[in-house]
Amino acid sequence: MKLTEKQTMVFNYVKENGGRVAMEELCAALGSDAKHLNPVVTGLGVKGERAKGLLDYEKVEVEGAEKPVKYVFLTDAGKTFVPGEDEE
């Protein structure tokens, strides 16, 4: 499957940083904000008509945080996917 440039950046960052990162960290690393990266994560996700099934996310209650922290993580398919090798 072919990924957009932003999808590739998001996917590679998550994969290269342990397979699970906080959305806040992802935004800071890529110089963007959640408003712009949420659709990219959704497109790489497991839900929706055009979802690629490579990433998923969960919201976790963290002590001291005002609201739940969103973590983005690789799915089983994402763990074995290599961008560019399986282009459609």
Q: What is the pLDDT of residue 28?
A: 97
Contact 13/2 with Cβ under 8 angstroms? no
Q: What is the pLDDT of residue 87?
A: 55
Does domain 5-78 fall under CATH 1.10.10.10? My reply is yes
Q: What is the pLDDT of residue 86?
A: 54
Judge if pTM exceeds 0.85.
yes
Closest CA to 56 of 33, 83, 79: 79
Q: Which residue has the tokens 């993580």?
A: 73
The rounded distance, in Å, linking the Cα atoms of 78 and 76 is 5
- Which pair of structure tokens corresponds to residue 24? 């806040």
Query: How does DSSP classify residue 34?
Result: H
What tens-digit pLDDT sequence spans the chain (88 residues)?
Answer: 889 999 999 999 999 999 999 999 999 999 999 999 999 999 998 876 667 899 999 999 989 888 899 999 999 999 999 887 655 5
Domain residue spans in the chain?
A: 5-78
Q: What is the pLDDT of residue 88?
A: 52
